A and B are shown apart, each in its own frame.
Chain A
Amino acid sequence: MKKKILCLILILSMCIFSLTGCYDAKGIENLSYAIAIGLDKGENNILKLSIQFATPSAISGDSEGSSQSDSTTITSIECSSISSGINLINSYISKQVNLAHCKVIVISEELAYDGVSEYIYTLVDNVQIRPNCNVIVSRCDAINFLENAKPTLEKLTARYYEAALRSSEYTGYTSDIQLNDFYSALKSSTAQPLAILAGVNTEETHLTDTDTNKFNIDSIYKANETPIQDKTSLECMGLAVFSYDKLVGELDAIESLCYAIVSNKLQNGMITIPNPNSDNNSIDIYLSPQKNTKIKVETINNTPYINIDVYLDGYIGSSDTNSDHSSTDTLEIISKSVDKYLEAQISSFLYKTSKDFNCDIVGFGNYAINDYLTWDEWISSDWLSNYKDSFFKVNISTDIQSGELFSKM
């Protein structure tokens, strides 16, 4: 009997502990899901935090006549930090802010110039935010960027963000920079951070003073400069370069492609070069990696000498009546032209990162560290400061093939 009572008491005490576990459980009806966070410099406070929320009733089609732009709503607040801003929004809206479905973090250029480490550390430390959330530097205000996220080919804004940033896989004109990448580079002593460059494309922001005789005019644009006429005004093109946590410069489309080639991130891309077989004419080449780029770094008297060997496959994407891409000699000539063009472009890009920005965005430090035995030796070498003295030697080897269907017109 005593044993039974003892067992009963023990079972009851276990129930007391174990059945009280769900006191802080929250259902989805109590949460408001953020799909994008915008960070601007505040006017009356340090920060202007904007959060774009998904409105579930609009997405599911419950409300009649809802357009895709109504599937989100933006709440903005001036605050001293992200956490306090979210707290203030929590007290204002009827539901609790949840960042688990946040797709992008948009930082305005103005704020990025002042430094973003505080915000990045806060976001990385947040369990709700996914590390694969994209980091975008907006050439306009972040709130303006979010307000213009009105997809025409997608129903959901969240999916639109995903799809828009995936274009880097087939253009190479930007890169898929995630929060994880940004944070890793920010903490690293071998590389420096990058972010996706984006903007709101309007008639006023189009690049007008271009030299129309330039053969590669289509690849010199940055975000919001492309002369496009469309309802969708968001544009992701180029990259934002950071020195530690401060924005120091921007890369245009072709420079972003060069970055993708050197850092082994290229999947597919396209370049336009002067046609070696015809004057006043250009030729389009689709590029894909043949094998990984080989990088060798030697440091002599604190001066880095960087050797880069690039191996690419290319096929010709444009033809005219005089085109004859069937002969090996013609392809050889085109291949040499591509090599020469890319060598010049990549060298220019690399010297821009070293001399103008002094930012090792490619991560050459990862190769230079090979020469050091201990961590202390490496840290005392001060790689990131020495990077500005770097010398680059770029060797390109491109294997060119004729067009997909016709080799002769």
Chain B
Amino acid sequence: MGLKPIVKANLFIMPIVIFSILLIFFSSAKNFVPERLLPILGKGANETFISGFSNVFAYSGITYLFLIMPYLKDAKQFKKISIIAIVISTIYLFLSVLCLLLVFPYISVTDEANSIYLLTRSLELGSFFQRTDALFVLLFIMCCFSYLTITLFLILNIFKKITNIKDSKAMTYCFCVLIFGLALIPKSLYQVREVNDNIFKYLILFFIFVFSTILLILANLKKKKEEKNNLSS
């Protein structure tokens, strides 16, 4: 599995996902109660900015930007690609959160996948289209497929670099089976949520904001040292 088929598959999936989110947003507009955004300061500054800091986890997708650089045809386009990716993700996230806040009462909030599912359950597209949540499940599978293929591709390439193996394609099946096996370990969705909320969330925060900053500082120091050596030689 190379990068090309993954990119092509994602080019097919991404517009469908964006269109579906827009469809969910506009179709649920009749259920919007703007006052549900109030009180404007929510649970207060402490709860929002300090206790709620871990919610920055929602931007964990930035991790992929750190890893795609070697696969770009034109590395100079990286900045442009990053900005477009962040803007699209932000719009997607913003619309999803806005839908949830405007439709559901303040306290009945579940995790993000469940909430969008609840939203699609309450959608009514006339009397002909009913049970739109079935479409959501299809969409969810497509998103999972997209996420898994990209993640697997990056894992394989990192593994290839670590182990210095020539052909990583044969390893694809091993990693697929491993992921599948790991996915069977949690006994319920609640357990998955537990791992996500208590471990994965903080690990991601550490890797994105702490680890990457340390790497950046070290890389700069290394660069300066090399420049110094070059000048002295």
Given contact pairs A180-B122, A366-B33, A372 touches B38 in the complex (Cβ within 8 A):
yes
Within 8 Å of chain A (Cβ to Cβ): is B41? Answer: yes
Contact string against A for B residues 1-44, beta-carbon threshold 8 Å, 1 for contact and 0 otherwise:
00000000000000000000000000000000101101111111
Nearest CB of chain A from residue B123's CB, rounded to whole Å: 9
- Contact residues of B: prevailing secondary structure: loop
Expressed in whole angstroms, the minimum distance between the Cβ of A201 and any Cβ of chain B is: 27
Closest to B33 in A: A366
- Quick check: B39 and A3 within 8 Å, CB to CB? no
Question: By the criterion CB–CB under 8 Å, are A376 and B173 in contact?
Answer: no
Q: How far is the CA of A246 from the CA of B197 in the complex (A)?
A: 36
Interface size in chain A (residues, C-beta < 8 A): 30
Chain B's nearest CB lies how many Å from the CB of A367?
7
Contact B108 A187 (CB under 8 A): yes
Using known A-B contacts A6-B170, A180-B122, determine if residue A373 contacts B39 with beta carbons closer than 8 Å.
Answer: yes
Task: Give the CA-CA distance A377 to B43 in the complex, in Å.
Answer: 9
Chain B residue at smallest Cβ distance from A190:
B35
A92 CB–B CB distance under 8 Å = no
For the complex formed, measure the closest distance between the CB of B41 and the CB atoms of chain A, giving whole angstroms.
5
Kindly specify which of B58-66, B99-107, B142-150, B214-222 makes contact with the partner chain. B99-107
Would you give the shortest CB distance from A12 to chain B, in whole angstroms? Answer: 11
Are A369's CB and B121's CB within 8 A? Answer: no
Contacts A10-B173, A374-B42 given: A187-B36 contact, CB under 8 Å?
Answer: no
How many whole Å from B122's CB to the nearest CB in chain A?
5
A372 to B42: give the CA distance in the assembly, Å: 10
Q: Is the CB of A376 within 8 A of B35?
A: no
A188 B170 Cβ-Cβ under 8 A = no
> Which of B68-76, B80-88, B152-160, B174-182 forms part of the interface with chain A?
B174-182
Q: Give every chain B residue within 8 A of A132 (Cβ-Cβ).
A: 122, 124
Asked whether A31 is an interface residue with its Cβ less than 8 Å from the other chain, the reply is no
A375 contacts B by Cβ under 8 Å: yes
B44→A188 contact, CB < 8 A: no
Q: What is the bound-complex CA distance between A409 and B121, given in angstroms? A: 52
Bound-state CA distance A6–B174 (Å) is 10
| Partner among A130, A188, A367, A375 whose Cβ is within 8 Å of the Cβ of B42 | A375
CB-CB under 8 A from A367, the residues of chain B are: 35
Q: A17-B177, A190-B35 are in contact. List 13 more A-B contacts (CB 8 A).
A: A6-B170, A7-B170, A10-B174, A13-B177, A131-B118, A132-B122, A187-B108, A188-B105, A366-B38, A370-B38, A374-B39, A375-B44, A377-B39
Closest 3 CB pairs of A and B: A366-B35, A10-B173, A369-B38
Binding site for A on B (CB under 8 A): 33, 35-36, 38-44, 104-108, 118, 121-122, 124, 131, 170, 173-174, 176-177, 180-181, 184
